[in-house]
Amino acid sequence: MVYDHTTAPEVGRGIRIVRALDQTWQGISVWVKAVEVVGSLLDVKVDDTHWVAVQRWEYADEAPAPAPRECPTGSPNCHCTREDHQALVNPPEPPPAEAVIEEVASAVTRGNPKDVIGSTKASLATVFWPAIFELGLAMLEGECKYWRHNYLAAPVRATVYVDALHRHIAKWVMGEEIDPESEAGLTHLAKAAACVHILQAARAYGTLIDDRPPRMPDGWLDTLSGHAKTMIERLGQTYVRGAYTEAERARWPEFNEALSKGPIRKDGGK
């Protein structure tokens, strides 16, 4: 090949470019070889769902067999992430009960803004409707005899209905379910509820005559309850406390036999 003065510079530049490319390729080959050596020592496998690294030993006869990667779920075809495995092996602590209650209470008031306002108003959602309708029957019996809302049209004395309330409750406590004076066969509890209803309605409407006895200082019953608590705690350390009830009538002879020798002491003595 013959070079003249017009082609020599271009040829020289071409030779320099080829040499530079050759040097670059040799450098790349060195890096590739280095990567292969490192890869032989540390084999790292990464895909979209798993992460695992297995250390390779220099001598194959000294290398232990790598342990198989087991999924906590026991699935042979694991598709869990590393975070999934950590959550399965070390599950997070459940939230405290207070947090759950607060979340439920918060959920009740979230949503419709009217729910937040309506939930703070007077409501009948807390009453048991069968008991309310049984009260209605007791009031209906009174309407048939004395006309509806008579206790609002004329003043009524408080003690009259308090006494009637006590009688109905006492009879029920002593085992009588049905009021024999009720022509509709109503229970004493329904009639007692009617007494309380009339007292409450007349008080709210302004027709209740307050003829209660002279007022006692506040806290008088709390004082007596304190004495009862002290008595129970002191005597309860020594004696076995019990009761004769209708539900355990069949065991009364057994109780009589046990108590015939005196109070039953917790230490077994006399």
Domain identity same for 203 and 146: yes
- In the prediction, which pLDDT does 98 show? 77
Is 80 exceeded by the pLDDT of residue 261? yes
Is 55's pLDDT higher than 50? Answer: no
Residues 71-117 have pLDDT tens digits of 656 666 666 666 766 666 677 777 787 777 777 666 655 666 667 67
Length of the chain: 270
Across residues 154-168, what is the average pLDDT? 97
Residue % of the chain over a pLDDT of 70: 61
- Higher-scoring residue by pLDDT: 151, 35: 151
Evaluate whether residue 101 is within a structural domain. Answer: no
- Asked if residue 189 and residue 133 are part of one domain, the reply reads yes
Instruction: Give the domain range for residue 230.
Output: 220-259
Residues 174-227: pLDDT tens digits?
999 999 999 999 999 999 999 999 999 999 999 999 999 999 999 999 999 999
Task: Name the domain count of the chain.
Answer: 3
Q: At what angle do helices 188-205 and 129-146 cross, to 10 degrees?
A: 80
State the virtual CA torsion across 159, 163, 168, 170 in degrees, nearest 10: 130
- pLDDT score for 198: 98
Contact (CB, 8 A) for 186 and 144: no
> Are 5 and 53 in a shared domain?
yes
